[in-house]
């Protein structure tokens, strides 16, 4: 069986059978497509010829491109998952990735924002939302909810309208492994989300040709991952309005992930 066909079967399995997140599946696909291209360049097209030397060669080539150790570690993790699946399906006599070792990633302490900086960021968002622009109402609700409930941005992007309980101030979150949990929402965040639902989301939904179900919509009203747009908006806010020093822009855009 060809390596490309087997890779597609593996990706389908981790998504449907194992319930891996869309982000993880995309990372697996990107890594394995790159690995498959490397193998094809070396005349390996059948999965039976996929061995540890081929995998080590690909990883060595990646290291020569000066890729980050975290990227190489992810590549190794992808190959290990793929190797376990190959062995389980008896497509190879043994796991070819079992003896691969990931490089040790450097450990650094995360930078954090002060309470005053966080307050200024939220105040700026509230000020922009005061004008009633639907995208500003959405951005304000996004930031307040991230800060209040310690959600991952990917979790926030997957929230459904039906998952927000206004009365109890709770939100149902689908996290890693498709595991659902109920998370409390603070007062300011609940008010921001309620205003967005009443004033902002209906206007965004009107721009869509379908019936979007996610809580937060893109500027064209589509079910949209707002991660990147939120990061860009926040970085622009910090850079142009002087909320925090330029060196903290990346820190600020990532801060909601670890509140």
The CATH number covering residue 175 comes to: 1.10.443.10
Helix 227-241 / helix 134-149 crossing angle, nearest 10 deg: 100
The CATH number linked to 81 is 1.10.150.130
Triad 20, 22, 25: Cα angle to 5°: 65
Whole-angstrom Cα distance, residue 93 to residue 97? 12
Query: Could you tell me if residue 101 is inside a domain?
Result: no
Q: Which backbone phi and psi does 206 adopt, to 5 degrees? A: -65, -20
Are 227 and 129 within one domain?
yes
Do both 139 and 84 map to the same domain?
no
Distance CA 98, CA 21 (A): 24
Domain match, 137 and 238 both: yes
Q: Are residues 123 and 61 in the same domain?
A: no
For the chain, the average pLDDT equals 83
CA distance 239 to 233: 10
Say yes or no: 149 and 186 in one domain.
yes
Residue 97 lies in a domain: no
Q: Is 9 a domain residue? A: yes
Please tell me which of 33-42, 98-107, 140-149 the model is most confident about, judged by mean pLDDT: 33-42
Instruction: Give the residue-averaged pLDDT of 221-248.
Output: 55
| DSSP strands (E only) in the chain | 164-165, 170-174, 180-184
What average pLDDT does the segment 56-63 reach? 94
> Is 104 inside a domain boundary?
no
Q: How far apart are CA 35 and CA 72, in angstroms?
A: 12
pTM given for the model: 0.59
Residue 252 has pLDDT above 70, yes or no: no
Residue 145: closest CA among 157, 134, 128, 133? 157
Same domain, 120 and 82: no
Please state whether beta strands 164-165 and 170-174 pair in parallel, antiparallel, or not at all (unpaired). antiparallel
Q: Kindly state whether residues 145 and 183 are assigned to the same domain.
A: yes
Q: Is residue 110 part of a domain?
A: no
Mean pLDDT, to the nearest integer, of 90-114? Answer: 81
pLDDT of residue 224: 60
Output phi, psi for 150, to 5 deg.
55, 40
Residues 67 and 139 in one domain: no
Residue 42, in any domain of the structure: yes
Say if 105 falls within a structural domain: no
Q: Which domain, by its residues, includes 54?
A: 3-88
Task: Quote the percentage of the chain above a pLDDT of 70.
Answer: 83
Q: With a cut of 70, say whether residue 183 has pLDDT above it.
A: yes
Identify whether 56 is part of a domain. yes
End-to-end CA distance of the chain: 47
């Amino acid at each position: 069986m060809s390596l490309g066909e087997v890779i597609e079967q593996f990706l389908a399995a981790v998504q449907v059978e194992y319930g891996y997140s869309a982000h993880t599946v995309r990372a697996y696909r990107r890594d394995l497509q790159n690995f498959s291209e490397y193998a094809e360049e070396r005349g390996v097209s059948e999965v039976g010829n996929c061995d540890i030397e081929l995998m080590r060669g690909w990883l060595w080539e990646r290291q020569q491109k000066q890729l980050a150790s975290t990227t190489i570690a992810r590549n190794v993790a992808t190959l290990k998952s793929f190797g376990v699946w190959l062995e389980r399906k008896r497509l190879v006599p043994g796991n070819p990735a079992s003896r691969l070792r990931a490089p040790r990633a450097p450990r650094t302490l995360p930078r954090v924002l002060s309470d005053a900086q966080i307050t200024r960021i939220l105040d700026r968002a509230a000020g922009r939302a005061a004008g009633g622009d639907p995208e500003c109402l959405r951005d304000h609700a996004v930031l307040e909810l991230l800060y209040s409930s310690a959600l991952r941005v990917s979790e926030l992007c997957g929230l459904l309208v039906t998952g927000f309980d206004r009365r109890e101030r709770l939100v149902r979150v689908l996290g890693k492994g498709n595991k659902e949990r109920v998370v409390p929402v603070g007062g300011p965040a609940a008010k921001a989300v309620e205003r967005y639902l009443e004033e902002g989301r209906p206007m965004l939904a009107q721009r869509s040709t379908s019936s979007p179900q996610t809580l937060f919509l893109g500027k064209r009203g589509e079910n949209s991952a707002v991660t990147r747009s939120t990061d860009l908006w926040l970085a622009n806010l910090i850079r142009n309005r002087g909320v925090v020093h330029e060196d903290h822009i990346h820190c600020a855009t990532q801060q909601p992930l670890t509140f």
